[in-house]
Each structure stands twice: as C-alpha cells, then as structure tokens.
Amino acid sequence: MKFLKRISRSKVMKIFRQKLKIDNTIAKKYILISFLVLFLPLVSFPIEIKIPENQQIKILLPQSTVIDNDEYSLGEIAEILCENVSLYDKISKVIIGRAPLPGRKLTVTRSLIISRLRSQKVNTKKISFPRSDSSIIHRAALKISGKDIEEVVLRHIKESNYNKDLKPRLLAKTKDIYLPRGQVSYVIKVSGKNKKEGGYQNYEVEFSVNGVAVRKVFVRTYLKLYREVFVARDTIKRNHVIEESDLLKMRKNVDRIQRSYLTDKNQIIGKVSTRTLGPSEAFSTNSIAVPLLVNSGDRLQIVFETPFLKLSAPGISLAKGREGDRIPVKNIESKIVVFATVKTRNIVLVN
C-alpha cells in the first residue's frame, strides 16, 4: 500500500508541474496581449490623406517645348491646372532654369520642378504630374548652313579683289550654326595681321541678331593669285645699277614672292641692287635702292638759299648720301661742319 501511495504521489506532482507550465504560457500570452492593447494606440502609422479634387494642382508636361528667351518659367513649358488664381500666377512665374543654346536641347524632370517650387515656398504635397514626369526643352533658333557661310565668304573675296585671276579655295568645311531668332546681319573681315594679297587667309564672319553680336565663325581659305611682275633676267650682283636689259616680265603666283613686289619697271630702272638677286627673282622695294650721289670725301657746293638770298661755299662730304638724305658736310673755308640735304651729285642744300 505504501508503494502504491508513493507512485500515486509522484504522478500527482508530475501532473501539477505540467499544469503550472501551461498556466505560465497562458500568462505570458495574456501579458503580451495586454501590452498591445494598452500601447498600440500610441504607435502612429502613415495614413494617406486624399486631397480634394478642387485643391489639387496638376502640372501637365508636354513631350517637348520650344523656348525663345534665355530663361524659361513653369508656365512656358507646362499646362497648370489650379483653381486658386493667385497660386496659379505664382506657380506659373517660377523660373525653372536657363534655356539651352540655340540648336540644342535639355530634359526638365519632375524633381527639378519640385525643387524650384519648394524654393519659392510652394506646398508641393498638392502637386501631381498626371501626364509625364519629364519634358524636352528646345531653344528657338535660326539655322544657317555652313555652305551658305562659305558662299558669302567666297563672294566677298571676289568682290573685294579686282583681279579676275584670283582663285580662292576653301581649306576646311564650315559647320552649320544656330542663332537666336531675330533680325540677322553679318560682317566679314580678314583675320590676323598678315594680310597678303594671296596665300593663306582666315576670314572672320561675325553674326549679329537685332544689332547684338552673338557668334563668330572662322573660314580658312587659300588665295591663288597670278600677276605680271618684273624679275631678274640673270644674276644681278650687289650695288649693280639696274638697266632695262636686266629686267624680264613674268607671270607669277604672288604668294610665292615678297609682299612688296614691283610691277612698274620705272620704279626699278636706274636703281641699285642692295643684295645679289638670282635669276627669275622678283624685284621688291627691299631689294633695290636709290643709287648714291655723294660719297665720303667728295668735294661739293654747300648752298644756302632763301627767297631773297643765295649763298654758296665749297665743302667736303663727311658721309655717303642719296638724293634727299641729310649728311654732314664741312665748309672748307670756315672749317664749320653742318648738315645738308643731298640735291645732286655736286650740290647739297642747307635749310
């Protein structure tokens, strides 16, 4: 009987422990449920509040828009639906950004518009974009083809040069340009300091719109120009007095010779070569000079002349001189040195 009592007691204890365990689990669940019931109302969750239709601001962006000015506002690039008139005026005048250069484009996005509106203290929560989130902006422009620019430059070259033998040639293709709309005018001028008749020339075309310069275009050309010039028939040594038999008339490309070439034989005959000239070399103002009339040590007459008086005295040249040069001369009688202008081989004038 004692054994049976012991077994029955152990079973009772086991059953009690299982029941206590179950009760603890139920107690924990009860505490958790109580916590949620007490504190759940304090937790806030975002709730979407639907804005009434009459308070919404709808911005309808088109696929693309053409802009005339340097800057563009929201009203210029989008259709705005807003029942509040004052708010509509404020939103439509908000500047979104600068327009692209003529002939180019840019994309305006929803985020950029929202950012510009926020900077102007506009409540963007009421704004929606039902049509599109972006739009392409083009700058209104007048296209001028590179071919047209080349034609006006070639026409300018032919009209500004009377020589019919001039043959201009373009060295590079000119690209198309885009100008703002308006009254367009242009001016063409030679670019650079070296302005020879022939050879390589750069022309600058400056475009203006409504009187304001907006764009410059450079056109590279090569001008092939032939002219009849006088050249040396054979080798001419330095200090040689040039005669007509030393000359030969030849047709040459002026780009290959010095800029100061001579085409009049009267400017050459009787002059003295300042250096050695090779056969077929063109005469220029740098290669010839007026011959010396007076050498150092030559005896001559020093003349002083006024409308009412003329005096002369023998003298000696102290330097070389050509016609028109001022050189020092010494009066033989008074031993005084004065400066006089060479008039002839034997006469110098004192002013």
Single-letter code of the amino acid located at 43: V
Q: How confident is the model at residue 195 (pLDDT cuts 50, 70, 90)?
A: low
pLDDT per residue as tens digits for the range 209-226: 889 998 999 999 998 888
Mean pLDDT of 286-303: 89
Residues 183 and 126: their CA atoms lie apart, in Å, by 44
Mean pLDDT to the nearest integer, 153-181: 86
- Asked if residues 136 and 64 have their Cβ atoms less than 8 Å apart, the reply is yes
Rounded Cα distance between 299 and 315, Å, is 6
Give the span between the Cα atoms of 117 and 112, in whole angstroms: 9
Answer whether residue 23 shows pLDDT above 70. no
**Alpha-helical runs (H) found in the chain:** 2-39, 74-77, 85-92, 110-119, 146-160
Q: What is the pLDDT of residue 167?
A: 85
Identify the band that residue 2 occupies on the pLDDT scale cut at 50, 70 and 90.
very low
CB 163 within 8 A of CB 227: yes
Q: What is the mean pLDDT of the chain?
A: 83
Q: Is a pLDDT exceeding 50 seen at residue 92?
A: yes
Helix (H, G, I), strand (E, B) or coil at 164: coil
The partner residues of 304 in beta bridges, in order of sequence, read 311, 350
Q: How much of the chain, in percent, has pLDDT values that exceed 90?
A: 37
Q: Give the model's confidence band at 319: pLDDT under 50 very low, under 70 low, under 90 confident, else very high.
A: very high
pLDDT in tens, 182-193: 888 999 988 876
